[in-house]
Amino acid sequence: MIATLLQIAAMFSLLSLLAFGGGAAVLPDMQRQAVQLHHWITSREFLDMFALSRAVPPGSMIVVLIGQKAAGLLGGLVALIAMFGPSSMLAFVVGRFWHRAGGAAWREALEQALAPVSIGLTIASGIALARSTEHDWLAYGVTGATTLLLTFTRAHPLVVMGCGAVALALVGV
Amino acid sequence: MPSANDDGIGSPLIGHLERRKQAIATKDWRSPGKHLMIFPRLPVCSLKRLNGRMSNRSAPRPPSLAALFLSFLTIGSTSFGGGLLGWIRRELVERRAWIDDTQFLVYYGLSQMVPGATNVNLSVIIGSQLRGVAGALTAVAGLLLVPLVILLTLGAFYFATSDLPASHRINAALVGAGAAAIGFNIATGLRLGQRSLRRIGPLLVAAAIIVGIGVLGLPLLEVVVVMVPVSLVVTLIERAA
């Protein structure tokens, strides 16, 4: 039990530091290690877990299910801390460094330079996500309508998303 | 918008000016006003900029840990299906005004450069900015609590029955909510763009990233590594012009 918990901690804390651009980057390696190396779950279970955890924020939450299967409730918690701990500490250090830099000239320039990059990434990752999932014309319609409504009106996101859910549940698939 | 930022303009600025006057009067170069003598540009730069910088350094009234926890609990509870980034901005920038759009964009950019789930990194940086280590822990705990409980429950159910609890229709509804959530994130980007991308240089940088990642499917990390320096050069050229 302790050995399994240690394996979970070691595996996910390493993946945490390799997950550049988010958890999706390390999903294939996560699957390989959990299925073939440690035999905690089967390939089918991995896909089921992926489907289950996909809608749960903030992404990468599949690690909780893998840990839970491998070593129960404690395993799930250890996996969560291992997956978000190391990267969070890195983010904390970067944030502190930024904070300390105060009104330095380089910081002000970088601040100005980061804004268009961040805006581009926000829109680009939305488009990339739509293209990578099973988006039929109906789903694209929902995405497009939501984009327009939430950009140009004061509609509440929850209402709009609820409408999207109902629309596809009634009409779709 | 609420008064958090308005408080930031007056008092620290007046404090600085007072200290500066004192420094001039007493010729005490080691006083806190010293840096204003070296950079005399600071007091005459636009109020809006100064406001951003002041609230950057120390928010006038940082939220209590309880308020921070509640906000992130709300964010974590509403973002099922996606749209987390949009919810974070809506709650912290629009509703609470604890950070402004400039800070939001910078923290988001920093979060992307660090490995790990971007939105968790973003929560850590915002939390630590507002309330230090305790703030970072509080933000992440609030963000994860509801999703964790729900996922552990779903997991226990799944392991007991070894079958997906989601029926056909629930699955379709999740796809619909997910499709709308993607729209929410894109809309958040577009709204930020409406406000911040007023000149051609930054607009081209953002457009290049959208085409590179969204249309051509290039890897995010490589695009960031190339485009941050490019954007920095654009910024410096615009400043020089």
Greater confidence (B133 vs B26) lies with B133
Say if B191 falls within a structural domain.
Answer: no
Q: How confident is residue B165, by pLDDT bands cut at 50, 70 and 90?
A: low
- The predicted pLDDT at position B83 comes to 86
Amino acid at B240: A
B109 and B146 in a single domain? The answer is yes
Among residues B39, B57, B75, the one where a domain terminates is: B57
- From the list A121, A123, A144, the residue facing B112 with the nearest CB is A121
Say if B176 falls within a structural domain.
Answer: no
- The predicted pLDDT at position B44 comes to 38
B186 vs A87: CB contact, 8 Å cut-off? no
Beta-carbon count within 10 A of B28 CB = 13
B90 and B139 in a single domain? The answer is yes
- The predicted pLDDT at position B27 comes to 43
CA gap A54, B148 in Å, rounded: 13
B18: pLDDT strictly greater than 70: no
Q: How far is CA B175 from CA A27, A135, B85, in A?
A: 20, 9, 18
Structure tokens at A59: 């992404």
Q: How confident is residue A111, by pLDDT bands cut at 50, 70 and 90?
A: confident
- The predicted pLDDT at position B34 comes to 39
Determine the residue among B79, B103, B114 to mutate to test chain A binding: the one whose Cβ has the most chain A Cβ atoms within 10 Å: B114
- The predicted pLDDT at position B35 comes to 42
How does the average pLDDT of chain A come out, rounded? Answer: 89
Domain that holds residue B17: 4-57
B110 vs A94: CB contact, 8 Å cut-off? yes
Say if B104 falls within a structural domain.
Answer: yes
Among residues B13, B32, B57, the one where a domain terminates is: B57
Averaged over A69-91, what is the pLDDT? 96
- The predicted pLDDT at position B52 comes to 44
B25 and B88 in a single domain? The answer is no
Averaged over B164-191, what is the pLDDT? 81
Determine the residue among A50, A65, A123 to mutate to test chain B binding: the one whose Cβ has the most chain B Cβ atoms within 10 Å: A123
Instruction: Name all contacts of B210-219 with Cβ < 8 Å and 24+ positions apart.
Output: B210/A120, B210/A123, B210/A124, B210/A127, B212/A124, B213/A120, B213/A121, B213/A124, B213/A125, B213/A127, B213/A128, B214/A123, B214/A124, B214/A125, B214/A126, B214/A127, B214/A128, B214/A131, B215/A127, B217/A128, B217/A131, B219/A21
Say if B234 falls within a structural domain.
Answer: no
- Nearest CA distance, B227 vs chain A (angstrom): 7
A35: pLDDT strictly greater than 80: yes
Q: Domain limits of chain A?
A: 2-100, 105-171
Averaged over A27-45, what is the pLDDT? 90
Contact residues, chain A, for B116 at CB < 8 Å: 16-17, 19, 22-23, 60, 83-84, 86-88, 90-91
B47 and B74 in a single domain? The answer is no
Tell me the ipTM for this assembly. 0.87
B150 and B102 in a single domain? The answer is yes
A125 vs B220: CB contact, 8 Å cut-off? yes
Averaged over B97-117, what is the pLDDT? 93
Q: How many domains does chain B have?
A: 2
Which of A47-56, A118-127, B11-20, B196-205 is predicted with the least confidence, judged by mean pLDDT?
A: B11-20
pLDDT digit string, tens, across residues B122-144: 999 999 999 999 999 999 999 99
Say if B207 falls within a structural domain.
Answer: no
Structure tokens at A170: 């009634």
pLDDT digit string, tens, across residues A112-167: 899 999 999 989 988 988 887 667 888 899 999 999 999 999 888 888 888 988 88
Per residue, the 3-state secondary structure of chain A, as one string, reads CHHHHHHHHHHHHHHHHHCCCCHHHHHHHHHHHHHHHCCCCCHHHHHHHHHHHHCCCCCCCHHHHHHHHHHHHHHHHHHHHHHHHHHHHHHHHHHHHHHHCCCCHHHHHHHHHHHHHHHHHHHHHHHHHHHHCCCCHHHHHHHHHHHHHHHHCCCCHHHHHHHHHHHHHHHCC
B50: pLDDT strictly greater than 50: no
Say if B189 falls within a structural domain.
Answer: no
B236 vs A61: CB contact, 8 Å cut-off? no
A55 close to B (CB below 8 A): yes
A139 vs B176: CB contact, 8 Å cut-off? yes
A149 vs B234: CB contact, 8 Å cut-off? no
| Closest residue on chain B to A72 (Cα) | B156
- The predicted pLDDT at position B24 comes to 45
Contact residues, chain B, for A147 at CB < 8 Å: 183, 186-187, 190
- The predicted pLDDT at position B162 comes to 60
B99 and B143 in a single domain? The answer is yes
B84 and B150 in a single domain? The answer is yes
- The predicted pLDDT at position B8 comes to 38
pLDDT digit string, tens, across residues B181-240: 889 989 999 999 998 888 999 999 999 999 998 899 888 888 888 999 999 999 999 888
Instruction: Identify the CA nearest to B183 among candidates A34, A67, A122.
Output: A122
Averaged over B51-80, what is the pLDDT? 78
Percentage with pLDDT > 90 across chain B: 50
